[in-house]
């Protein structure tokens, strides 16, 4: 998609998502419990997408590749090996901020 307000419907129907490694795209997909292959853009400066993809891969939540290895990744993937992404716990962060700011 070039642009769409929301991909929620497509994510709900998807059996597999192939995406760039933008944090929003990755987290939204993983929160929906969908298997994800992240395709890294090697041309980005300070390739922050690679850092995110590597960490999510180390956590066992995604597979990652670049454009030239996508076909190989699709052919060899084992989606059953992927772990579910743990749910967020925003209340812990809020509690931490309250404590740091002296609000508790």
Domain extent listing, the chain? 7-101
Segment 79-89, tens digit of pLDDT: 999 999 988 88
DSSP string, 34-103: --EEEEE-TTSGGGHHHHHHHHHHHTTS-EEEEGGGHHHHHHH--GGGPPPPPPP-HHHHHHHHHHHTT-
Cα angle vertex 44, ends 82, 7, to 5°? Answer: 50
Q: For residues 42 and 56, which has the higher predicted lDDT (pLDDT)?
A: 56
Question: Which residues are registered as beta bridge partners of 80?
Answer: none
Architecture in CATH for domain 7-101:
3-Layer(aba) Sandwich (3.40)
- Residue 18 carries which DSSP code? E
Q: Are 65 and 49 in contact (CB under 8 A)?
A: no
Residues 1-39: tens digit of each pLDDT: 778 888 889 999 999 999 998 899 999 999 999 999 999
pTM score, two decimals? 0.81
């Amino acid at each position: 998609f070039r642009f769409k307000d929301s991909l929620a419907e497509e994510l709900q129907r998807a059996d597999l998502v192939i995406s760039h490694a933008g944090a929003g795209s990755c987290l939204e997909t993983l929160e929906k419990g969908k298997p994800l292959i992240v395709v890294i853009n090697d041309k980005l400066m300070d390739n922050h997408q690679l850092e995110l993809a590597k960490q999510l891969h180390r956590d066992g939540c995604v597979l990652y590749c670049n454009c030239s290895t996508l076909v190989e990744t699709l052919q060899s993937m084992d989606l059953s090996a992927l772990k579910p992404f743990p749910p967020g716990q925003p209340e812990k962060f809020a509690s931490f901020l309250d404590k740091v700011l002296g609000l508790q």
